[in-house]
Amino acid sequence: MEQAIEKAGALIEAMGYIRSFKDKIVVVKLGGSILDDMELQRKLLVDVAFMSIVGMRPILVHGGGKAITQAMNESGLEPVWVQGRRYTDERTLAIAEHVLVHKMNTPMCQILNELGCRGMGMHSLSSCVVFAEPLRLVSDDGRKIDLGLVGEATEVNGELLKTLCQSGVIPVIAPIARAKMGGAKLNCNADTVAGKVAAAVQAEKFVALSDTHGILRDINDPESRISSVSEAEINAMIKEGIINKGMLPKVESCLIALEGGVKKAHIIDGRFPHSLLLEIYTDKGVGTQIIK
């Protein structure tokens, strides 16, 4: 009986959040080990389906870097990294597109459909909503660095995404974009794409699911998680080197979303059971929220 009462209490606590988030768009970025574990991925998609069923309008954006590297190794291709980014030629792009679309995006949509929702893949082999320009880095001596078919997301068809959300569809976006000029395909950073998507649809929330419980003041102390932090404090932590390496792209995607008008961004551990629902529908939350 006590367990049943606790469940009822949780539902009552969630009721206010369900009401306030009805018809609001929430962009969720899936990355890290979540993409390597189908059982964990399915559990997260159940949470996304719940969000949709109670009236929220989720949009999913996913990466797939590890799976792309593995597929390249199986094809006898060794990845070439330039300033932390994968150099992408035609063959590499073909492998990346195959992995992102057929190995990741399509199964996610199938699971959502099995759960009674309408998942729709948005990518370079269907309706593409992300547009980009070729990314060119600059070396310390001022030389431009060619990354091949790597793009920087510059524009998102937010109106189409909002229309799909309003009709009950869950867009599932893979980070292969189209160039505005010529229509060439470009491989983009999924974190950046996710932040741009959140900004384009003026999402109520942006949630980045990672392999950490949020932002830590001390990377060696799991108990040092910061529950809430402002954009100014984030920039200070980046300068101090507290936020670096793998956490930096996730934080930068949150800042892109906030700069674009999103009210709150969250970084949470996707491996934690129901972390997505706990962050959105409870008073305490389980990760780090970043506010403007």
Considering the chain, what is the average pLDDT of its residues?
A: 89
Average confidence (pLDDT) over 116-135: 94
Is the pLDDT reported for residue 283 higher than 70?
no
Q: For residues 253 and 29, is the Cβ–Cβ distance under 8 A?
A: yes
Nearest to 171 by CA among 112, 252, 100: 112
Q: What is the pLDDT of residue 284?
A: 66
Residue pLDDT, tens place only, 180-207: 877 799 999 999 999 999 999 999 999 9
Cα within 13 Å of Cα(139), Cβ side = 7
Residues in the chain: 292
Q: For residues 206 and 267, is the Cβ–Cβ distance under 8 A?
A: no
Is the pLDDT reported for residue 114 higher than 80?
yes
Nearest to 270 by CA among 228, 208, 219: 208
Q: Could you tell me what percent of the chain has a pLDDT over 70?
A: 97
Q: What is the pLDDT of residue 130?
A: 97
Question: Has domain 24-291 been given CATH number 3.40.1400.10?
Answer: no
Q: Could you tell me what percent of the chain has a pLDDT over 90?
A: 56
Average confidence (pLDDT) over 35-45: 92
Cα within 13 Å of Cα(145), Cβ side = 16
pTM over 0.85: yes
Residues β-bridged to residue 234: none
Residue pLDDT, tens place only, 267-280: 998 888 888 888 88
Q: Which CA distances in Å does 148 have to 1, 138, 145, 211, 263?
A: 61, 14, 9, 29, 35
Domain segments of the chain as ranges:
24-291
Residue pLDDT, tens place only, 209-242: 988 778 888 777 877 888 889 989 998 988 888 8
Is the pLDDT reported for residue 282 higher than 80?
no
Q: Higher confidence at residue 81 or residue 104?
A: 104
